[in-house]
Structure 1
Amino acid sequence: MSERVTANRADGLITLGAADALWAGLTADSAVPTASAAFTRCPARAQAGYVLLGGRVVATVTAGGGRCSVPEAEVRRAATELNSVEMDRRDLVRIGPFRDGAQREHHEETPLRWRRRIARELQERDDPERADGRLCHLAGIDWQRILVEQTRDGAQRTWWLPRAVVRLLDVAEHTETRWLRAARTRQARATVAEPPSPHRQARTVDAPQTTSPDRPAVPLRPYNEELKGHLYSVLSRKPGTSRKVAGWACAVCRTAPAAVLDHCHEHGYVRAPLCHSCNTQERPDHLYSNHIRVADHYRRLFHTHTAQWLRHWHRCPGCRARTTLPLPHLAAWTAHTACRSLRPTHRDPRSSRGRKPCGALRVSWTGSHHAPGSCRFTVAVDLCPSGEHRVLAHVPYREAAERFRTWLAETVPAVAAEAGPDRLDDLPTQIRPVIADTSSEGQALF
C-alpha cells in the first residue's frame, strides 16, 4: 500500500483513490470499524473542499482538470486519532427513532446530520429504488457494522450505537459546522476585498492551514456555572438559547460540544449543558412511568465516575440543599448500591468467580415527584433463571435518602461538604413544581 500511495504523491498530496486505500489500511485494526471508500463515496464532500474523518476535517486541494487531492499527512493524523478511540460494544446509546427528530434538525448548519441520515437510511433500506444509494459511512466510520436494533413489545423498533461512536459523530458534526462557518467568513472577506474570482474562492476553501479542526473558528467555551440557579422553563423559551448552548463544551466530559440543557425535573433548575452522549448516559432507563431497569451504565454513575456525576446532579440547588438526588436517580442508587448485597447470584462456569448476578434488576416506586417523601421503593429481580426470586426489598423514601447521605459522606466527602441547607447561600425559598419535558425527542433528564 505504501508504494501505491507514493506513486500518487505530489508535494505531500495523494489522490482520493490512494487516500481511500491509505485510510482503510491504517485503520484496519481500529476498534471503530471504518469504510474503505471514505473519500469517494457518499456522503464524502471532497468537491466541496473537505472530507470528514472521525472528528477531523481533511481539506482537499483541486488541481488542474478539477481532480481533487488531499494531504497524506492529514489522512495519517486522522487515522492515528481514530485508532486511539476505545469502544465498548455493550455501552449503547439510543439514536432513534424519536418523535419530531426531523424538526429538531431542521435548523442545523452542518450537512452531516448523522442522526437524520441514519434514520432515513434505516427507514428506507428495503426500498429497491434506493438499493444503489445506500450510505456506506459517516465521517469514514462504517456505522452499519456496529448498529444494534432492538424491539420492545413486539412492535416498537429502536436503534443503538456504541457510546464512543455517538460521541465521535457528535464531534464530527460540530467540527464540520465550525469549518463551514470559517470558510464562509473567509469567502465573505475575500469578496469585499476584491472582485469575486473562481480561482480565489477555490484557494480560500482549499487552504489547509486555515481549515484545520485544530484551529476552530470559535473554540468551545468551558462551562463556568453561567446558568446557575436558572429555571429550565424560562431558558428553554428564550430565542438563541440553542446557539448559546452549542458554544459550550460538555460540562461532564469537557471534550464534546454541548447539545442540550440538562435540568432537574423535580425542582426545575438547569444543571449544565451536556453533549448527547453524556445526556443519554445519565438518563434513567425507564421501562414505563414509575419503573427503572437498573442497567450496567449505573456502574459508571455510582462507582467509576461517582464524584463527577454527583457534583453534576448537585448543580440543582434543590437537590444540593436536601443532600439527595431526584426521585428516579435515588431509586436507581437504592437498587444498584444500597441493595446490592440482597441480589442473588447463580453459578456461571464462564465467569472467573463462578457466580453471576441473578436476572435483571428493576426498581419501581409509588407516589409522585410532587411528594417524594411519601414514596416507597420496591427493588425486584426479573427474568430469574430459576424463577424463585421476585421482590428483594421495600425501602421508604426517607430511609433511602438517609442511606444516600451517609454513603455520600463516606464516598465523596467533598461533594457532601457542599450540600445541606446550612451551607447554601442560594437555597430556594420555595420548592419549584415539576417542569414538563419540553425538549425534542424526550432527551432531557431527571
Structure 2
Amino acid sequence: MPERVIPGGSGGLIPLGAADVLWVGLTTESAVPTASAAFTCSPADARVGYVLLGGRVVATVKASGGQWSVLESEVRRAAAELNAVEMDCQDLVRIGPFGGAPKKECNETTLLRWRQRITRELQDLGESERADGREGGRPSHLAGIDWRRLLVERTRDRTARTWWLPRAVVRLLDAAEHTEKQWLQAAGTCQGNAAVTEPPAHHGRARAADGLQATSSDCSTAPLRSYNGELQGHLYSALTRKPGTSRKVAGWACAICRTAPAAVLDHCHEHGYVRAPVCHSCNTQERPDHLYSNDIRVANHYTRLFDTHAADWLCHWHRCPGCRARTTLPLPHLAAWTAYVACRSLRPTHRDARGSRARKPCGVLRVSWTGSHNAPRSCLLTVAVDFCPSGEHRVLAQVPYREAAKRFGTWLAETAPDVAAAAGPDRLDGLPARFRPVIADTSGEGLALF
C-alpha cells in the first residue's frame, strides 16, 4: 500500500475522500463554484478509471487492498486550470429545454451529453425541490463544477421554463465532454456511451509505486486541429449530407474562441455557405436575437460582436462568400449593427434612479425591417426603444437598407481594414447566380429578402 498523502504534501497518491477535500480547498477562490463530492458522487465514479475535473481527465488508481486513489499532483493541476477561468455571470447561454424528451445515456457514470443530463434532472424535480435549489443530498455537479449554484431559470407566459448557464461554464462542460470522449476512444473501450472499466495494458498504462497501476492521462486526448479554411466555399446543405461530417467537425478547435472543441458548422442562412466549425457557446453568441422573423432585440452580447471582439467576428461573418462579395452582413446582423452602432447617438439616456449623476441608456433597442434586399428601395430598417421607464420613446430612426449598408462599409474599413480589403464586388467568382430565399418577406409583396 502506498503511503497516505496529506493534501499539500509530496504530490503522491491520495484516497478519494482526501481528493474531494483537496479539490474544494484549492478552488475556494475560483470564479466557478466546485462540488464537495467531485470524486465520490455520480456522475464521478473512480472505478471506471478516471474522474473529470473541469476540462481535464484525472486518472484513478486501484491499490492492492481495493482502495481507489488519485495522484495529488493531477488534482492540483486541474484546480489551477479551473482557477484561471474568468466568468461573467451576466453572459448566459440557454441550455434547454429545446423540445422533445431528453435521451437517456447508456451509462450514468459518463458526462457525455451533459445538456440532456441536466435537462432530465431538472424535469424530474418537483416545484418545491427546484425552489430549494437541490434535492436532499442529491449531488449536483458535473466535472467537479456545482452547476446548480449557477443555473438561471426564466419563465415565459408563466408556463414555459428555460434554463441558462454562464458562457464560461458552458465552454468548460463542452471541453469536459470532448475530453472524456477522446479519452474513452484512446483507451479503446468506448462503445457508444459505455464507461471504461479497465483500460488496456498497452495503452498508456504506467507502473505506479508498490505495484499499483495508473492510467496515464497524457495519452487520452488528441490535440484539436486549428481551422484553416478547409471548408471555405462549401454549401452547408451539401456538407450535411456527407457521411462523417460531424466526426470531422469534432476534430477542429472552434474557429472563433480557438479553445473549445467545435460542435457545429456555423453557416450563413441567407447565402447557404459554411462559415466555419464553432463550439456551442460561440454559435449561441452569434445567433441573432429574433423576436419574430423580421424583428431583432439588440441584447448585451452585441457588445462583443460589434465592440470588444469586432474584428474577429467580422472576419468570421465574411467567411461567407456572399456576404464578403456584398461587403455587408446578413440582414439580421446588419439590422442589429445599425441599431447598436449607427444609431447609438440617438438613444436617449435617463438619470440613474439611485440618485447618482451618471446617466444610463434608456430601455432596450429593437430593430425591425420591411421590404426586400432584392429591391433595396423597399427595404427599410426601423430602430425603436422598448421598456422605456417613462414610456416616452418609441421610434428613434428609419434607415433605408442602402444607407445602412453604406455606413457599415465605412465602419468596416475603419474597424477591420484587413476584412474590408478582402471584400467587395470584384470577389464574385464562384457565387451562385441566384441566392436561395431563407427569410420570408413580411411586406406582403411576395419578394424574398435574399
- Give the TM-score category using the shorter length: 0.7 to 0.9
The corresponding residue for 1:223 is: 227
The corresponding residue for 2:210 is: none
- What is the Cα deviation at residue 64 of structure 1? 2.0
Amino acid at match of 2:62: T
Among residues 407, 426, 430, which one is paired with 2:429 in the alignment?
A: 426
For the residue of structure 2 that corresponds to 1:64, the secondary structure is coil
CA separation of 1:133 and 1:110: change in aligned 2, threshold 3 A:
same
The corresponding residue for 1:440 is: none
Among residues 261, 275, 279, which one is paired with 2:283 in the alignment?
A: 279
For the residue of structure 2 that corresponds to 1:60, the secondary structure is strand
For residues 305 and 58 of structure 1, the distance between their equivalents in structure 2, rounded to whole angstroms, comes to: 34
For residues 335 and 97 of structure 2, the distance between their equivalents in structure 1, rounded to whole angstroms, comes to: 27
Among residues 351, 366, 369, which one is paired with 1:347 in the alignment?
A: 351
CA contact (8 A) 1:259 1:276 kept: yes
For the residue of structure 2 that corresponds to 1:6, the secondary structure is coil
Q: Encode CA deviations 1:44-102: one digit per residue, 9 max, x unaligned.
A: 02110000000100000011232210000000000000000000000001111113574
Q: Encode CA deviations 1:390-438: one digit per residue, 9 max, x unaligned.
A: 111111111111110111112211111110022x2634141320359xx
CA contact (8 A) 2:43 2:142 kept: yes
For the residue of structure 2 that corresponds to 1:65, the secondary structure is coil
Amino acid at match of 1:289: S
The corresponding residue for 1:136 is: 140
Among residues 232, 238, 246, which one is paired with 2:236 in the alignment?
A: 232
The corresponding residue for 2:407 is: 403
Aligned length: 421
The corresponding residue for 1:90 is: 90
For residues 292 and 411 of structure 1, the distance between their equivalents in structure 2, rounded to whole angstroms, comes to: 23
Among residues 175, 181, 198, which one is paired with 1:177 in the alignment?
A: 181
Of Structure 1 and Structure 2, which has the larger fraction of its residues in helix? 1
CA separation of 1:367 and 1:133: change in aligned 2, threshold 3 A:
farther
Q: How does 1:139-218 map to 2 (within 5 A)?
A: 139-184=143-188, 201=200, 207=206, 211-212=216-217, 215-218=219-222
The corresponding residue for 2:326 is: 322
- What is the Cα deviation at residue 350 of structure 1? 5.2
The corresponding residue for 2:13 is: 13
Amino acid at match of 2:255: A
Amino acid at match of 2:94: R
- What is the Cα deviation at residue 202 of structure 1? 7.3
CA separation of 1:369 and 1:78: change in aligned 2, threshold 3 A:
farther
Q: Encode CA deviations 1:114-171: one digit per residue, 9 max, x unaligned.
A: 1011101110111899956844200000000010011123322111100000001000
For residues 385 and 141 of structure 1, the distance between their equivalents in structure 2, rounded to whole angstroms, comes to: 39
Among residues 403, 413, 419, which one is paired with 2:417 in the alignment?
A: 413
The corresponding residue for 1:27 is: 27
The corresponding residue for 1:193 is: none
Q: How does 1:253-264 map to 2 (within 5 A)?
A: 253-264=257-268
The corresponding residue for 1:194 is: none
CA separation of 1:351 and 1:270: change in aligned 2, threshold 3 A:
farther
CA contact (8 A) 1:125 1:134 kept: no
Amino acid at match of 2:77: R
The corresponding residue for 1:75 is: 75
Q: Percent identity?
A: 72
CA contact (8 A) 2:32 2:169 kept: yes
CA contact (8 A) 2:272 2:436 kept: yes
CA contact (8 A) 1:221 1:248 kept: yes
For the residue of structure 2 that corresponds to 1:428, the secondary structure is coil
- What is the Cα deviation at residue 215 of structure 1? 4.6
- What is the Cα deviation at residue 223 of structure 1? 0.8
For residues 133 and 116 of structure 1, the distance between their equivalents in structure 2, rounded to whole angstroms, comes to: 21
For the residue of structure 2 that corresponds to 1:336, the secondary structure is helix
CA separation of 1:62 and 1:348: change in aligned 2, threshold 3 A:
same
CA separation of 1:359 and 1:199: change in aligned 2, threshold 3 A:
closer
The corresponding residue for 2:444 is: none
For residues 133 and 24 of structure 1, the distance between their equivalents in structure 2, rounded to whole angstroms, comes to: 17
CA separation of 1:209 and 1:309: change in aligned 2, threshold 3 A:
farther
| TM value normalised by structure 2 | 0.86
The corresponding residue for 1:289 is: 293
Amino acid at match of 1:339: C
Amino acid at match of 1:70: V
Amino acid at match of 1:122: L
Q: How does 1:100-139 map to 2 (within 5 A)?
A: 100=100, 102=102, 111-126=111-126, 131=135, 134-139=138-143
Amino acid at match of 1:89: C
For the residue of structure 2 that corresponds to 1:279, the secondary structure is helix
CA contact (8 A) 1:8 1:15 kept: no
For residues 101 and 381 of structure 1, the distance between their equivalents in structure 2, rounded to whole angstroms, comes to: 38
Q: Which runs of 5+ in 1 are unaligned?
A: 188-197, 437-445
| TM value normalised by structure 1 | 0.87
The corresponding residue for 2:317 is: 313
CA separation of 1:180 and 1:335: change in aligned 2, threshold 3 A:
same
Among residues 228, 249, 252, which one is paired with 1:248 in the alignment?
A: 252
CA separation of 1:200 and 1:279: change in aligned 2, threshold 3 A:
closer
CA contact (8 A) 2:199 2:215 kept: no
Amino acid at match of 2:152: V
The corresponding residue for 1:441 is: none
Among residues 376, 381, 386, which one is paired with 1:382 in the alignment?
A: 386
